[in-house]
Chain A
Amino acid sequence: MPTRGHFSEELKDLKADIRTLAEDTKHALQKAITALHNSDVKQAHQIIEEDKRIDKKEEEINERVMILIAKQQPVATDLRRLIIAIKITTDLERMADHAKNISKATIHLGEDHPISIHPSIKEMAEVAFDMVDIANKAYEHEDISFAHKLSEMDDIVDKKYGEMIKELLELTANNPDQIQYLMQMAFSARYIERFADHITNIGEEIFFLIKGRSYDLNE
């Protein structure tokens, strides 16, 4: 058995749990987008309820990391592994909060709102789902080539968001009676855009793990 085999196993388990949390976060956004499209208020309430489980998972992971730092006194790459575990988990929790926020928008819109959901919402979300998959792979393999891809995909989300907001502003000018609904849609788009930013942060954290220096992929 290699030296510090138990510690290596614990790091492996921790990574597996964080990857599962990333999957849970992606599913939360998927369900939130579906509920938004279907005006499914009941589903939206359920997503908000399920977010508590993700919050709890974040706390559990942070506590585990704290115990590992205290007991194992890691240095160098192992120390960075544990530091980014906390940072990635925080990003994932925030991402799940954005899924929750979209669900709140669904509740505000109600079941009988008069507007159709802008197609860019779905397009942005699709890119964000792919980004989660890529980030998860980058984290699993500790591979910065995947992390680079995240930056490019985030640019696509940002561009779609910018175009959509421009369109929504024009719509509000011509449809002042629909402002409250259009605002909820703009908020939802903003939450997806922020969701993608957090995935890009995860890419930066993987850079930090591998290179030992900070990088900004969000520029």
Chain B
Amino acid sequence: MDMVENNMKTKPLDKSKEINSVPLLQLDELSVYYGENHAVKNVSMPIEENKVTAFIGPSGCGKSTLLRTINRMNDQISIARYEGNIEYEGLNLLEKNIDVVALRKEIGMVFQEPNPFPKPIKENITHALKFMGMKKKDMEEVVENSLKQAAIWDEVKDRLKSSALSLSGGQQQRLCIARALALKPRVLLLDEPTSALDPISSAKVEDLIIELKKHYTIVIVTHNMEQAARISDNTAFMYNGDLVEFGNTSQLFTNPKEKRTEDYISGKFS
């Protein structure tokens, strides 16, 4: 799929790739401004392929802004502007000529509140596929695979024509993940995907995230420290727009280098 309106192409997707530590995305001196507000300040970090990277930090620290910058969701905010690079497959995703629609297929997003379309479960998956011109018989396979990958197939396979709104909150969120997976992304951006869910539903989504990282690169924003510690491989702690510390999650949660990180993850931030 062309992401650049010229003739630059992304490489074909290879979903069978083994886990490795090659950065798929490299954030380099990335700054985001909302008008005069410098919301993300000169952030540099790798996003490793087939790993879960968690962004943590207090409200307003810039973590959601950073996440939304990766697939240019902030473009919809007129006063938002960027500096620096997000390198992906030899492209700078912040370049003006990037086709953001193609980008968002490659780098999908799931939001805090489950937001299924008020349509049948199956149509939630096929809606975007129709726009892509996919044939009906191919869609059947994508629907089943996406729902299976999102670990919700067994729960909905007998009621695909029921309204998605009849599902529980946790099921709706997994359906939203399935909807994102149907577009065959390489990266999934998850913005507090379990904050509106009960502990059981959250646990299912967490298990799902760990499964999905075998095939996808995942970046998650979470306010839940324990969740970040449980599911992520790397963690970035942000404060006031700065990246205070980035590193291996086990190391960051047991022996952080920075006192501000220690205070925050220990709940002693003042």
- A contact residues vs B (CB 8 Å cutoff): 2-4, 7, 73-80, 212-213
The answer to whether B256 touches A4, judged by C-beta atoms less than 8 angstroms apart, is no
**Could you show 26 A-B contacts with beta carbons less than 8 Å apart?**
A2-B268, A2-B270, A3-B268, A3-B269, A4-B266, A4-B267, A7-B267, A73-B225, A73-B226, A74-B266, A75-B225, A75-B253, A75-B254, A75-B265, A75-B266, A76-B254, A76-B255, A76-B265, A76-B266, A77-B262, A77-B266, A78-B266, A80-B254, A212-B254, A212-B255, A213-B255
The answer to whether B229 touches A75, judged by C-beta atoms less than 8 angstroms apart, is yes
Q: Which residues of A contact B268 (CB under 8 A)?
A: 2-4
CB distance from A68 to the nearest CB of B (A): 13
**A-B pairs with lowest CB-CB distance, top 4:** A212-B255, A75-B253, A4-B267, A75-B265
In the complex, which of the residues B229, B268, B269 has the most CB atoms of chain A within 10 Å of its own CB atom? Answer: B268
The answer to whether B262 touches A76, judged by C-beta atoms less than 8 angstroms apart, is yes
Q: Which residues of A contact B226 (CB under 8 A)?
A: 73
CB distance from A168 to the nearest CB of B (A): 46
Q: What mask results when residues 237 to 267 of chain B are scored 1 for a CB within 8 Å of chain A, else 0? A: 0000000000000000111100000100111
> Which of A3, A7, A77 is in CB contact (< 8 Å) with B270?
A3
A74 to B262, CA, bound (A): 11
In the complex formed, the residue of B with least CB distance to A78 is: B266
In the complex formed, the residue of A with least CB distance to B261 is: A76
In the complex formed, the residue of A with least CB distance to B266 is: A78
In the complex, which of the residues B226, B253, B266, B269 has the most CB atoms of chain A within 10 Å of its own CB atom? Answer: B266
CB distance from A15 to the nearest CB of B (A): 16
Supplied contacts A3-B267, A73-B226, A212-B254, 14 more A-B pairs, CB within 8 Å: A2-B268, A3-B269, A4-B266, A74-B266, A75-B225, A75-B229, A75-B253, A75-B265, A76-B254, A76-B256, A76-B265, A76-B266, A212-B255, A213-B255
A76 to B262, CA, bound (A): 7
A46 to B86, CA, bound (A): 73
A212 to B255, CA, bound (A): 6
CB distance from B150 to the nearest CB of A (A): 28
- B contact residues vs A (CB 8 Å cutoff): 225-226, 229, 253-256, 262, 265-270
Q: Which residues of B contact A75 (CB under 8 A)?
A: 225, 229, 253-254, 265-266
A80 to B262, CA, bound (A): 12
Q: Which residues of A contact B269 (CB under 8 A)?
A: 3
A2 to B263, CA, bound (A): 11
A2 to B270, CA, bound (A): 7
A144 to B11, CA, bound (A): 54
A150 to B256, CA, bound (A): 27
In the complex formed, the residue of B with least CB distance to A213 is: B255
A212 to B253, CA, bound (A): 11
CB distance from B143 to the nearest CB of A (A): 39
In the complex formed, the residue of B with least CB distance to A73 is: B226
A219 to B269, CA, bound (A): 40
Q: Which residues of A contact B265 (CB under 8 A)?
A: 75-76
CB distance from B30 to the nearest CB of A (A): 27
In the complex, which of the residues A4, A75, A213 has the most CB atoms of chain B within 10 Å of its own CB atom? Answer: A75
A144 to B46, CA, bound (A): 36
Q: Which residues of B contact A80 (CB under 8 A)?
A: 254
A76 to B229, CA, bound (A): 11
A77 to B257, CA, bound (A): 11
Q: Which residues of A contact B225 (CB under 8 A)?
A: 73, 75
In the complex formed, the residue of B with least CB distance to A212 is: B255
CB distance from B62 to the nearest CB of A (A): 21
In the complex formed, the residue of B with least CB distance to A77 is: B262
In the complex formed, the residue of A with least CB distance to B229 is: A75
In the complex formed, the residue of A with least CB distance to B251 is: A212
Q: Which residues of B contact A212 (CB under 8 A)?
A: 254-255
A122 to B3, CA, bound (A): 81
Q: Which residues of B contact A79 (CB under 8 A)?
A: 254
CB distance from B224 to the nearest CB of A (A): 11
A3 to B264, CA, bound (A): 10
A46 to B245, CA, bound (A): 56
In the complex formed, the residue of B with least CB distance to A208 is: B255
Q: Which residues of B contact A4 (CB under 8 A)?
A: 266-268
A3 to B266, CA, bound (A): 10
Q: Which residues of A contact B270 (CB under 8 A)?
A: 2-3
CB distance from A12 to the nearest CB of B (A): 14
